[in-house]
């Protein structure tokens, strides 16, 4: 049997697009843990009524790209994805310290799109018009992770890039602050997962320029956090029963100029699960928080401090 695609590892690079859906060669390369970005096409197999029981034609249908990307949450990489999510991401500061502040918007289409280039064992794939449909910050063995679901317009084969890898390191144990409510640090949590779901969908239009999506639109948004906490008193549980709103701030910090902070001003607990698994065990609370928009505050704000200058 002949072998194919023999090689080691892969390369993943991204670039912000000037024109949505028009490929741009990578300007930033990303160490990643897994990816599943694929070209999805809907071929129409026709079965006309004629003197045959077989399918008769294969007709080109609509096409788009989609998949998930999982990586460590590096402060010099996360802003690229926030810019291509359903946010208004504003850069402030100056060399060498920049601040990217992302707040959600109600826009139907993203402000920016990206091109993603992936080299899989020597084979090069270029995905265009890519936006972030949902993203999640979480903890894996003490490391801050970032996972996003991506939806794009089309795919094109590109030339192999030469990667230049970032030198930043991930956030790890001992670098986290959880405040519930904000300005009140707690030390009884050992896990959290902050998720934003914007329900992106490819949009197809009749055209003569290929089968890919014309653009990607967003739907309804939900923002929530799940967290495991020690149950030390009934105060928090009683606030859950009373539907009391709280604010939550989650911060990972490696230094004064390298941090990722998530602020959720208006939070309501959806569920509060308690239980004992055996004699002498801790009472644990597995809590799901919903983050709401209010008249004065967005559902969340993400602030990234980094040395990365994104233009």
What are the φ and ψ backbone dihedral angles of 153, each rounded to 5 degrees? Answer: -85, -45
- 14 has a pLDDT exceeding 60: yes
**Domain span at 76:** 10-39+64-160+169-306
**pLDDT grade, residue 3 (50/70/90)?**
very low
Measured from the Cβ of residue 168, the count of other Cβ atoms closer than 10 Å reads 17
Number of domains the chain is built from: 1
The reported pLDDT for the residue numbered 6 is 46
The reported pLDDT for the residue numbered 146 is 98
What are the φ and ψ backbone dihedral angles of 148, each rounded to 5 degrees? Answer: -135, 145
Give CA–CA dist 208/193, Å, rounded.
43
* Residue 50 domain-assigned (yes or no): no
| Cross-strand partners of 63 | 41, 212
- 2 has a pLDDT exceeding 70: no
| DSSP run (H or E) holding 136 | strand 123-140
pLDDT per position as a tens digit, 104-117 = 999 999 999 999 99
What are the φ and ψ backbone dihedral angles of 71, each rounded to 5 degrees? Answer: -150, 170
* Residue 53 domain-assigned (yes or no): no
pTM of the model: 0.92
Residue 200: is it exposed, middle or buried by C-beta count within 10 angstroms (0-12/13-18/19+)? buried
* Residue 3 domain-assigned (yes or no): no
* Residue 1 domain-assigned (yes or no): no
* Residue 231 domain-assigned (yes or no): yes
**pLDDT grade, residue 27 (50/70/90)?**
very high
Report the chain's mean pLDDT, rounded to a whole number: 93
* Residue 58 domain-assigned (yes or no): no
Give CA–CA dist 178/35, Å, rounded.
29
- 310 has a pLDDT exceeding 90: yes
Give CA–CA dist 257/92, Å, rounded.
13
What value does the mean pLDDT take over residues 122-132?
96
* Residue 57 domain-assigned (yes or no): no
- Expressed in angstroms, the distance from the first to the final Cα of the chain is 48
Those residues with Cβ within 8 angstroms of residue 279's Cβ, 6 or more apart along the chain or in another chain: none
| Secondary structure (DSSP) of 183-207 | T-EE--EEEEEEEEE---EEE----
Measured from the Cβ of residue 275, the count of other Cβ atoms closer than 10 Å reads 10
Those residues with Cβ within 8 angstroms of residue 99's Cβ, 6 or more apart along the chain or in another chain: 91, 92, 93, 303, 304, 305
**pLDDT grade, residue 156 (50/70/90)?**
confident
DSSP state letter for 50: B
* Residue 44 domain-assigned (yes or no): no
Measured from the Cβ of residue 274, the count of other Cβ atoms closer than 10 Å reads 11
pLDDT per position as a tens digit, 181-240 = 999 999 999 999 999 999 999 999 999 989 999 999 999 999 999 999 998 888 889 999
């Amino acid at each position: 049997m002949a072998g194919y695609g023999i090689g080691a590892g892969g390369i993943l690079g991204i670039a912000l697009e000037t024109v949505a859906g028009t490929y741009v060669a990578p300007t930033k390369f990303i160490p990643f843990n897994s990816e599943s970005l694929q070209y999805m096409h809907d071929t129409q197999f026709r079965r006309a009524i004629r003197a045959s029981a077989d399918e008769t034609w294969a007709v080109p249908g609509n096409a788009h790209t989609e998949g998930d990307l999982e990586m460590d949450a590096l402060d010099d990489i996360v802003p690229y994805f926030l810019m291509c999510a359903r946010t208004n991401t504003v850069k402030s500061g100056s060399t060498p310290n920049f601040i990217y502040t992302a707040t959600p918007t109600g826009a139907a289409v993203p402000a920016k799109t990206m091109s993603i280039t992936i080299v899989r064992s020597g084979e090069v794939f270029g995905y265009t018009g890519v936006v972030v449909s949902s993203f999640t910050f979480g903890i894996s063995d003490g490391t801050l992770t970032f996972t996003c679901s991506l939806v794009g317009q089309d795919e094109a084969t590109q030339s192999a890039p030469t990667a230049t890898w970032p030198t930043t390191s991930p956030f790890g144990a001992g670098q986290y602050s959880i405040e519930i409510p904000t300005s009140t640090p707690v030390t009884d949590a050992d896990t959290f997962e902050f998720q934003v779901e914007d329900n992106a969908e490819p949009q197809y239009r009749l055209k003569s320029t290929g089968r890919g999506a014309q653009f990607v639109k967003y739907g309804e948004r939900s923002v929530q956090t799940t967290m495991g906490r020690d149950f030390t008193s009934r105060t928090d549980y009683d606030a859950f029963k009373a539907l009391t709103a709280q604010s939550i701030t989650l911060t990972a910090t490696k230094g004064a100029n390298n941090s990722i902070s998530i602020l959720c001003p208006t939070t309501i607990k959806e569920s509060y699960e308690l239980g004992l698994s055996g004699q002498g065990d801790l009472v644990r609370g597995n809590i799901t928080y919903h983050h709401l928009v209010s008249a004065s505050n967005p559902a969340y704000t993400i602030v990234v401090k980094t040395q990365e200058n994104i233009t």
